[in-house]
């Protein structure tokens, strides 16, 4: 009998195989060269994020199989999240400048609250002692 973990593993494997096939098809579309440069940049950034995350997860699995410290991978995942957050923030700033984002944009209030909370936690890291 299959365990729930086995079913999840099979589903994850199937989804990865489907995503791989889709990416191969997307590559053919990209090669046509008839693509909006902004969309292509965002796609590349997303693919890079997924690639880095997949690498870290693979490292986590392999370290666990060899009874080594899996937690050594966590700083890499944190670094990737920080890089991704910085890129998304930069892209959103450009969207605000170009009026692609406005007060009517769904989720904007939640984003504002999240950014405010992040700022509150980051600011102390960058304060220098006054003399």
Return phi, psi of residue 118, to 5°.
Answer: -65, -45
pLDDT in tens, 43-92: 998 899 899 889 998 999 999 999 999 999 999 889 888 988 999 899 88
pLDDT, residue 131, reads 35
Q: Does residue 130 have a pLDDT over 50? A: no
In a domain, 95, yes or no: yes
In a domain, 2, yes or no: no
In a domain, 47, yes or no: yes
Rounded distance between C-alpha atoms, residue 59 and residue 71, angstroms: 10
Q: What mean pLDDT, rounded, does the chain reach?
A: 88
Helix, strand or coil for residue 17? helix
What token pair was written down for 44? 């590349």
pLDDT, residue 16, reads 92
Alpha-carbon separation of residue 112 from 52, 81, 107 (angstroms):
28, 18, 9
* Interacting residues of 108 by C-beta distance below 8 A, sequence separation 6+: 101, 102
Domain that holds residue 74: 7-126
Structurally, the chain folds into a number of domains equal to 1
Q: Does residue 2 have a pLDDT over 60? A: no
């Amino acid at each position: 009998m299959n365990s729930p973990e086995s079913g999840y593993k099979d589903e994850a494997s199937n989804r990865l195989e489907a995503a791989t096939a889709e990416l191969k098809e997307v590559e053919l579309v990209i090669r046509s060269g008839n693509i909006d440069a902004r969309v292509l940049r965002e796609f590349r950034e997303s693919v890079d994020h997924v690639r880095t995350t997949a690498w870290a997860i693979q490292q986590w699995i392999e370290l666990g199989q060899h009874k080594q410290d899996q937690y050594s991978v966590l700083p890499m995942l944190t670094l990737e999240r920080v890089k991704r957050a910085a890129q998304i923030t930069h892209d959103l700033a450009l969207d605000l400048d170009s009026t692609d984002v406005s007060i009517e944009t769904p989720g904007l209030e939640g984003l504002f609250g999240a950014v405010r909370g992040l700022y509150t936690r980051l600011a102390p890291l960058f304060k220098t002692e006054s003399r």
